Structure 1
Amino acid sequence: MTIDIPRPDELTAGRPLLFRNATVLSMDPAIGRLDGGDVLVRAGLIDRVGHALTAPEDAVVVDATGGILMPGMVDTHRHMWQTALRGFGADWTLSQYFVFYYLNWGKIFRPEDIHAGNLLSAVEALDAGVTTTVDWSHGLRTPEHADAAVEALRAVPGRFVLAYGNLLGAPWEWATAPEMRRFVDRHFSARDDMLGLQLAFDVTGDEAFPEKAAFEAAREFGVPVTTHAGVWGATGDDGIRLMWDHGFMTPDVTYVHSATLGEDSYQRIAASGGRVSVSAESEQNAGQGYPPTWRLRRHGIPVSLSMDTSVWFSADLFSAMRATLSADRAREHLEAHAAVETVVHHTLRAQDVVEWATLGGARVLGLDDRIGSLTPGKKADLVLLRNDRDPAMFPLLHPYGHVVYQAQRADVDTVVVDGRVVKYRHELLGVDLRKAREAVGATVEYTRRTLGEEAWREALEPEIPRTEPVSNPYTYSTYRGEGVAVRQEES
């Protein structure tokens, strides 16, 4: 049976939407994987999942043959405002990142620059099939900066969580200020499934535990906390111990990175029901520590995935899945080799990592009753991967492995958020990309002018450390006698 290709103007809000004949990765254990499966979306919800579903009379039917239909992906830690300087820190270490944003230039970003970065980042997320993003927004120096962040997130039809932070201020001060209360009342007085709130701050390990007031503020507001933990040279076991001793390790705390903690800290996170956001590409490149999934799995700590910041990396959870699975397996092999053993069966599977990118993220955010799987009754956040022009998209033999190791953001055909089609046949709908580009262009011009050309160039091209080359005894330049090679210094 031939199915007509719907026009974008037919994908109006309120009409049922039936995806027909896809490889369905429901991420719901009760449903599992369906070959040639259908998913019906109605009234913003997943209505039915199965085979040969009957299309309602007014339904729009999308032929998903040859495609993978899966839940929308969830990024649980992303500094969205920094997308305005996309790729600027591609060669930075974590120390250089700290120097640029925390010590030297973080203070120059205006509210309109926060808005620009958030706007482009939000659009980018939808385009890549990331339907929910935690905006770890630690550039909110003033209420005006925070208002600008919210305005940008509400302008894009995705699902977001604003994690309010201020890297240039003390959390025990800004979290308890009257301006913070007014901000919460202004934007979050009622529950909103499309925009949630967290507090974002780090615990330094100071024995006086000044962060206690920020934790108490989070409890007063009734919002979760997200914190960078186990980051080499910045946050470690002392911070975890202080949180534990003061009763602030609870199931609604997300520990970002958690790469350099001791066993006792992992035990505390596990015992308190805490969750971890792993940014494998960032951890491997910047130096927070080795991606810790190989340790988190042993403790049964829930895992989600994140991309950190576009000053290094794009909003591409395909890359996150690939980097995470590769890092975990590499560690497993290295541990075995150190014991003069060989790994013959992988412990972590591709399906596990796809789950971390979807249901795992929803679980970490406490949203797994609403999103994260294609389960009837949940919000209709879903992604169709299909690209007939990409030779890597067929044959489709191992669907979970295909998502992790073969698919890419260019293969995101259709994206649905809260039942609304926001991308269709590889084109964004109802999103003003031109406006985002213009806003970011203005921020780049302002930032470059403010830094000055010398500082701009120094930040863009950091100094390369000198390394001594290893002497190679097998390098020869002359010959002596028949068939005898001689090194240069001996000739």
Structure 2
Amino acid sequence: MTRQTSRILIQRACVLTMDAALGDLTEGDVLLEDGRITAVGDQLSAEGAQRIDAAGMILIPGLIDSHTHMWQGPLKGLGAGNWGMADYQKHVFPLREKFGAEDMGDATFAAGVEMLDKGTTTVLDFCHNVMTPAHADQALAAHRRTGQRIVFGYGMLGSHGAPASEQDWRLAQVRELARTLDAKPTSLLRLGIAVGSLEYVGLAAMRREIETGRELGLPMSFHQNPPGQIRELHAAGLLGPDLLPVHANVATDEELAALAACGAGISFTVEGEFGGGRPMSIIGRAHRAGVTPSLGVDIPSRVAMDLFSQMRLTFHVMRAEEALAERLAGRWPLARRPGTPHAQPRHMLEYVTVNAARALGLGECLGRIAPGCIADLVLLRTDPYGMSVGDPAAHVALQASASDVDTVIVGGVVRKRGGELQDMDRAEAAAATRRVRSRVLAQ
């Protein structure tokens, strides 16, 4: 499939730049050239450019998911009734052992098409199902096929009871991929490391993986579930802005201060965390502490691959946590006071654009609509019922849905227009899902 970048002029959109210097444009134009945004303003001219009339639409940066296991795409619904981690570990996670390399390719392709269709242009694919080198190769081939912007988190976690020596071939493949994959920020496929969980692999193995990642200049991420792990990593000198914790629901204020001091963020997967009974005050505490939150779907086996629903749920979870604190302090009924409520609808859009770009190490060039930034954009329809009154970012976070995604642009290339995918076939993605289910679930 050949993709040519072109000169595109988007006209008359309500532009949410997510850039502090530019702000919002009630009706503005955005010019794209050679995969980058070159101008943002009013009534721009661009001779010979392809024109997109976006009157009545909202233009936002492409949505960025900072933590999803894309291999679970075809397993959607399998974890719907899970009750805590025990159910997940019993019914979903062991299926890693049944996935062949071919299944990894099909599953990753199907998930990528669906996520692009729903406006998610970039994903940190935390691929903790690299059971053989071929598993990684097939997943990477699928990413190349979809053309979604990916940070491929090469999974270091092996099979249950696997020998520690498995780390050797995984790190060897990471080194080879680092040599061959394009590391430029504009590359659609960049390498990262999905570091093994501290409770499974231990500090020594985790240190080796992190040090390898830093030697190679790779972004890294890790699951942070049991208490005290951030403190342990900090004491070991391993925290850094290139190491993204996921979940961290039980992190202490001291640990948040350590993350903030080194410029790190946290990826929250709110639907899975909240539905799994985890404490949720962490998002507001992290935000206030200067630890930038970002959002991810996490487990498609349970959660829809849709960042709009994640924004909406996150807002209401954060507001509920703030209201609970007010009740416990005897301040009831609710009344506004300085600094409360803290969570605002616009914050949710920040979490899946500017914050997520920073979490992936792309904060300088992604997640904003500003000259020089990578041209990853989404146009949202507001018809037939019109845009909300007030802040248009609130419309995106609380009113919009994946069905409103009209146009998706990745690297200056139109991937969806007028609600229709341009160079991908939904039927092909559905067929890939069926193949995985037939082989893995015998359905």
Asked if these proteins are the same fold (TM beyond 0.5), I'd say yes
1:403 aligns with 2:401: no
1:97 aligns with 2:91: no
Match of 1:381 in 2: 376
What's the offset of the Cα at 1:356? Answer: 1.1
State the distance in 2 between where 1:74 and 1:87 align.
Answer: 23
1:24 aligns with 2:18: no
State the distance in 1 between where 2:223 and 2:180 align.
Answer: 25
State the distance in 2 between where 1:181 and 1:357 align.
Answer: 27
Q: Report the residue type matching 1:34 in the other structure.
A: L
What's the offset of the Cα at 1:176? Answer: 3.4
State the distance in 1 between where 2:207 and 2:356 align.
Answer: 27
1:195 aligns with 2:189: yes
What's the offset of the Cα at 1:358? Answer: 0.6
What's the offset of the Cα at 1:439? Answer: 1.9
- In structure 2, the residue corresponding to 1:36 is in which secondary structure? strand
Q: Report the residue type matching 2:351 in the other structure.
A: W
**Conserved? CA contact 2:4–2:413, under 8 Å:** yes
Gap change, CA 1:65 and 1:190, over 3 Å in 2: closer
State the distance in 2 between where 1:186 and 1:144 align.
Answer: 17
1:348 aligns with 2:343: yes
Q: Report the residue type matching 2:56 in the other structure.
A: G
**Conserved? CA contact 2:251–2:282, under 8 Å:** no
Gap change, CA 1:444 and 1:50, over 3 Å in 2: same
**Conserved? CA contact 2:79–2:91, under 8 Å:** no
Moved more, 338-347 or 131-140: 338-347
What's the offset of the Cα at 1:189? Answer: 6.1
What's the offset of the Cα at 1:119? Answer: 0.5
State the distance in 1 between where 2:407 and 2:311 align.
Answer: 20
Residue deviations 1:44-96, cap 9 Å, x none?
A: 11111111112x22112211111101111100000000001112111113221
1:215 corresponds to which of 206, 210, 219: 210
1:66 aligns with 2:51: no
Match of 2:407 in 1: 414
What's the offset of the Cα at 1:369? Answer: 1.3
Moved more, 166-175 or 121-130: 166-175
State the distance in 2 between where 1:295 and 1:204 align.
Answer: 24
Q: Report the residue type matching 2:376 in the other structure.
A: D
What's the offset of the Cα at 1:218? Answer: 1.7
Segments of structure 1 that go 5 or more residues without pairing to the other structure are 1-11, 454-491
- In structure 2, the residue corresponding to 1:204 is in which secondary structure? helix
1:428 aligns with 2:421: yes
Residue deviations 1:243-279, cap 9 Å, x none?
A: 1122111111101011112222222222222210011
Q: How does 1:255-404 map to 2 (within 5 A)?
A: 255-290=245-280, 292-342=282-332, 343-345=334-336, 346-389=341-384, 391=385, 393-404=386-397
Q: Report the residue type matching 2:20 in the other structure.
A: P
Match of 1:440 in 2: 433
2:74 corresponds to which of 56, 60, 84: 84
Gap change, CA 1:225 and 1:417, over 3 Å in 2: same
- In structure 1, the residue corresponding to 2:429 is in which secondary structure? helix
State the distance in 2 between where 1:171 and 1:423 align.
Answer: 45
What's the offset of the Cα at 1:128? Answer: 1.0
State the distance in 2 between where 1:339 and 1:205 align.
Answer: 39
Gap change, CA 1:181 and 1:398, over 3 Å in 2: closer
**Conserved? CA contact 2:408–2:417, under 8 Å:** yes
Residue deviations 1:272-294, cap 9 Å, x none?
A: 22210011111111234426211
Moved more, 377-386 or 430-439: 430-439
What's the offset of the Cα at 1:354? Answer: 0.8
What's the TM-score, normalizing by structure 1?
A: 0.83
What's the offset of the Cα at 1:186? Answer: 6.3
State the distance in 1 between where 2:19 and 2:68 align.
Answer: 26
What's the offset of the Cα at 1:362? Answer: 0.4
1:48 aligns with 2:39: yes
What's the offset of the Cα at 1:182? Answer: 5.7
Match of 1:226 in 2: 221
Flag the structure with larger Rg.
Answer: 1
Segments of structure 2 that go 5 or more residues without pairing to the other structure are none
Gap change, CA 1:312 and 1:58, over 3 Å in 2: same
Aligned sequence identity (%): 34
Match of 1:114 in 2: 104
State the distance in 2 between where 1:406 and 1:189 align.
Answer: 38
**Conserved? CA contact 2:357–2:363, under 8 Å:** yes
- In structure 2, the residue corresponding to 1:155 is in which secondary structure? helix
Match of 1:481 in 2: none
